[in-house]
Structure 1
Amino acid sequence: MAVDLPAPNALEHDRRRTPTPHPEQSGERMSRNIFGPTQPNTGSTARDHLANERTYLAWHRTGISVAALGVAVAKLAPNRGGHAVAAGFILLAAGLLVSAYGTVRYRVISRQIESGEFAPATFTAVVTSTIVTLLALVAVVVLL
């Protein structure tokens, strides 16, 4: 039993002649992107944006962890009173600083990816890490 199939060129020709109806005209709903405009995935653009997002989430997760440690110290440090609250507040501030830096850095890198340029943040990363480390050490000294 043989089936007659049209030639491949005939199928392509029919597809080109038949206009595709607009989604609103065909009764379908248009999909909308709630996250902003889409971009063509040329080169490594998508991969770079996803890596930037993962790095941002890591900064944010670290900031939340440090802030949560501050709350735990303030609430759970036995017989420390005002010292525990002060140390907790210092750690909470350090956690917020880490999250804020991650947010600013994420936005800067996104703009750099779009412009096709990149400038490493050696100075700001070192300064932020140094400040957070010093705040953590001050919190430990306050608890002693």
Structure 2
Amino acid sequence: MEIEPKKDLSTDLAQQRTAMASDRTSMAENRTSMAEDRSSLATARSHLANERTHLAYMRTGISLVSLGITMNRFSWFMMDNKSISRFGGIGFLNDAKNIGLGMVILGSAMLIWSLFRYNSATTAINNFQYQPAHRSVLIFTLVLILLGVGSTIWLIV
């Protein structure tokens, strides 16, 4: 009968610790890889949200410009039409013509602002320094509210 040599318990434990350390290193590398993937996906989502916001501003600006041109041209047409002129609506049509021009200017300003805002947000996202534009949104909203209130008062009076 052969006698089996006694295994050294400390050698087995050392080998197990080495294997566990190797597994932990592998898991840490996997976590790092997943974190990089999550970061790149988060950056992509931020850029896509920025593009959606830019497109919404562009839609609104184009709508304002289109409606303003329509109002302006229609007012000119109505003022040139002699059958409408005899009823005394020239003052109102002249005001509508000016409102149409104002809408074109406002829509153009919105298009310019959206391009500036898109570029600055893109740069900030790429540099990981994005800060919301609270002040510009507040100012733009207040200007639109004042225009709305002024238009309402003008329509009532």
The TM-score normalised by the length of structure 2 is 0.57
Q: 1:132 is matched with which residue?
A: 144
Q: Please report how far the alpha carbon of residue 91 of structure 1 lies from its aligned counterpart in structure 2 after TM superposition.
A: 1.1
Do the aligned residues in 2 keep the contact of 1:59 with 1:98 (CA within 8 Å)?
yes
Give the aligned partner of residue 67 of structure 2. Answer: 69
Q: What is the correspondence of 1:9-20 to structure 2 with a 5 Å cutoff?
A: none
CA-CA distance at 1:113 after TM superposition: 0.5
2:45 to 40, 44, 47: 47
What's the RMSD between the two structures over aligned residues?
A: 2.5
- State which drifts further: 96-105 or 128-137: 128-137
Give the whole-Å Cα distance in 2 for the aligned partners of 1:105 and 1:135. Answer: 22
Work out whether residues 71 and 88 of structure 1, in 8 Å CA contact, stay in contact via their aligned partners in 2: yes
Alignment of 1:110 with 2:106, yes or no, is no
Contact 1:48–1:113 (Cα < 8 Å) also in 2: yes
**Structure 2 unpaired stretches of 5+:** 1-38, 79-88
Larger radius of gyration: 2
TM-score (norm 1): 0.61
Instruction: Detail structure 1 runs of 4+ shifted over 4 Å in the superposition.
Output: 136-140
Q: Does 1:59 align with 2:57?
A: yes
Structure 1 unmatched runs, 5+: 1-40
Q: How many residues align?
A: 104
Deviation (angstroms), 1:55: 0.6
